[in-house]
Every structure is written in C-alpha cells, then in structure tokens.
Amino acid sequence: MFLLGLTGSIGMGKSTTAQMFVEQGCALWDADAAVHRLYGAGGAAVSHFEAVFPEAIVDGAVSRPVLKQIIGRDPAALKQIERIVHPLVGQDRTDFLKNTDADIVVLDIPLLFETGGDARMDATACVITDDATQEARVLARGTMTREQFLDIKAKQLPAAEKCARATYVINTDTLEQAAAQVQNIVQTIRSQLHA
C-alpha cells in the first residue's frame, strides 16, 4: 500500500483534486471529514469535549463555532483541543488504512507539513494555483470575509514552501490540467509498485 499525502492551502483546489484520485481508483482518507465524524453526535470526540469544554456540546455534538469562541477568549485552549483531537484523528486514519485494500491511499491532510505528517508518507502532492484564483475561489464560497481568508492564509505555510517540499505539484488552474497531472502521478506510482 502506497501512502500519498495530499495537501494545499485554502482555496487551492485540494478537495476537487482528491476526488480525481478517487476516479483513478485510489482510496481517499480526508482529515477534515474525520474531524466532522468525531465531532458529530455520537462521535468519539464528544465525551472528551464534554469533560473539558462542556459548553462546546450542542445537541449532542461538538460545536465548531463555540470552540472558535473559546479559543478567541483563551488562545491556550487550542493546545487542549489539539491534544484531544489529534490522537482521535490518528486512530481514525489507522482504522481506515486497516480496512482498505487499495494499492494507493491518498491522505488529504491540510496541515500535512505543518504537523510533520509528511514523514509518514511514501510521497506527497501539493495543489497550487495563483493568488488571485485562490482568493476568488474562497470568497465565492460566501462563508468568510476577505479578512478571515487572509488570517487563515497567514497561519498556513506559504504555498511556495509547501510545493518546494512536495514530491509532486499539481497545478489546479484548470480542471483538465489537474486531472492530467493526477493521472500521471497515479501511473508513475503504480509503475513503481508493480515494477
């Protein structure tokens, strides 16, 4: 089983690119989706948060907006939250890997390099587009202001640095371009696996 870590800054086209790998027959584990499962009603994180931040539990699930308020009041709370979430996400990933028989598993991890997760991968791929396209994509979602976008972007490793560290770089300016690059990467990896 080949582990390919997929990363990229906000608005670069990572989710769309991840689906292109699925279309090529790869299995996909998504860190953000894992957190949503863990935070959802009955999720593994709920009891942990109930013990530490009971106000964050709303209708039996962990409320992200309430967590943001808690971090806003007390920035040190972020470390506590990470101590709860990171091991649970790691367990979710381990369980997923045990239950797949795919030859290539793509692990979609937004903070792959920031958290040192790249050390556990066989290779890494970073998605990229130009700054204007990135900003236009994020603002088109209508879920955040330009200031919020710039704040998130400032907390992430610069895109150029991520790309410099990645095994593969996927340019997502057009869907066709990204799809062709994904196909090439999958073919390259499979040719190595079956050599």
Pick from 41, 68, 43, 38: nearest CA to 53: 68
Q: Calculate what percentage of the chain has a pLDDT beyond 70.
A: 100
pLDDT digits (tens, 9 = 90+) for 115-150: 899 999 999 999 999 999 999 999 999 888 999 888
- Determine the Cα–Cα distance for residues 109 and 120; give it in Å rounded to an integer: 12
If DSSP codes are grouped into helix, strand and coil, which group holds residue 62?
strand
> Which domains occur in the chain, in start order?
1-13+105-195 (3.40.50.300), 27-101 (3.40.50.300)
pLDDT digits (tens, 9 = 90+) for 134-193: 999 999 998 889 998 888 888 788 888 999 999 999 999 999 999 999 999 999 999 999
pLDDT digits (tens, 9 = 90+) for 90-103: 999 999 999 999 99
- Determine the Cα–Cα distance for residues 181 and 169; give it in Å rounded to an integer: 9
pLDDT digits (tens, 9 = 90+) for 38-70: 999 999 999 999 999 999 999 999 999 999 899
Pick from 13, 9, 11: nearest CA to 176: 13
Radius of gyration over alpha carbons of the chain, in Å? 18
Looking at every residue in the chain, the average pLDDT score rounds to 93
pLDDT digits (tens, 9 = 90+) for 3-23: 999 999 889 999 999 999 999
Read off the pTM.
0.88
Pick from 134, 127, 117, 108: nearest CA to 169: 127
Q: Where are the alpha helices (DSSP H) in 99-144?
A: 131-140
If DSSP codes are grouped into helix, strand and coil, which group holds residue 28?
strand
Q: Where does 24-136 show beta strands of DSSP type E?
A: 27-30, 57-58, 61-62, 104-108, 123-128
**26 has pLDDT over 90:** yes
- Determine the Cα–Cα distance for residues 75 and 159; give it in Å rounded to an integer: 25
pLDDT, residue 115, reads 86
Tokens describing residue 92: 């979710």
* List of long-range contacts for 38-43, beta carbons under 8 Å, 24+ apart: 38/62, 38/85, 38/88, 38/89, 38/92, 39/64
- Determine the Cα–Cα distance for residues 154 and 86; give it in Å rounded to an integer: 22
pLDDT, residue 159, reads 87
- Determine the Cα–Cα distance for residues 100 and 14; give it in Å rounded to an integer: 22
**194 has pLDDT over 90:** no
